[in-house]
Amino acid sequence: MTVSQSGAYGPLDSGYLYFNQAWQAYVNGNGGLVDANGQHHLVKVITADDASDVPTADKLYHQFAEQQGANVLVSPYSADTGLTLQPIAQQDHVPLIMAEASTAQMWNGTYTWQVTDMVPYWSQNTTTAWSASYFRMLNETKWAKTIAFVGWDITWAIDDYSSGLWLANHTQGLSVVYQQLLTPKLPKP
């Protein structure tokens, strides 16, 4: 996977490098991953800096799949980058785990080589949205009468914002008193 260690996403994303190293150490320290035949496999996490740049990420993911023999690709922080990785995974026949880069337009049925660990928070009228349990609790307790929504005006956050707003508007006795999408002020690369 790529991790934006520099560029606009660097401050948000660079910690994943340490997470990847810790996960690899943990898995390998416990015998590796076990396949369907009971065979243990040690993992090697390959991570590169995409500099928060989509074309750089695309080039690196092609290299992971075609030159470095990656068995699985993991998306980076950016949903906009994740969208461009879907055809790469499809073309190179390497499964792509859409980690942080999960957004509604990724699941239109065009690409079949990706999966996500995230629930479909972008769905309307969903009981599996990240915030559904919160709004279920509000329906049961009635302790809140008003709510405000402020979100980032970027791909994945808009889906998340819309899902939460829909759920809030379908919560008994709850009024949405303010809603606004803001352009994030990320550091310049």
> pLDDT of 164-181, one tens digit each?
888 899 888 999 999 999
Q: How is residue 16 written in tokens?
A: 């994943």
The answer to whether residue 121 scores a pLDDT higher than 70 is no
Domain ranges of the chain: 10-116, 132-182
Q: What are phi and psi of 166, to 5 degrees?
A: -60, -45
Residue 39: which region, alpha, beta or left (left: phi > 0; alpha: psi -120 to 50)?
Answer: beta
Measured N-to-C along each axis, helices 54-66 and 79-92 cross at an angle, to the nearest 10 degrees, of 30
- What pLDDT, on the 0 to 100 scale, is given for residue 188? 61
Per the confidence metrics, is the pTM higher than 0.95? no
Burial of 186 (0-12, 13-18, 19+ CB in 10 A): middle
- What pLDDT, on the 0 to 100 scale, is given for residue 125? 55
The answer to whether residue 97 scores a pLDDT higher than 80 is yes
- What pLDDT, on the 0 to 100 scale, is given for residue 116? 74
CATH: 3.30.1360.120, 3.40.50.670, 3.50.50.60, 3.40.50.2300. Which one for 10-116? Answer: 3.40.50.2300
29 vs 124, residue with greater confidence: 29
Query: 3-state class of 139 per DSSP?
Result: helix
Q: How confident is the model at residue 144 (pLDDT cuts 50, 70, 90)?
A: confident
CB atoms closer than 10 angstroms to residue 61: 27
Closest by CA to 100, choosing from 129, 130, 76, 119, is 76
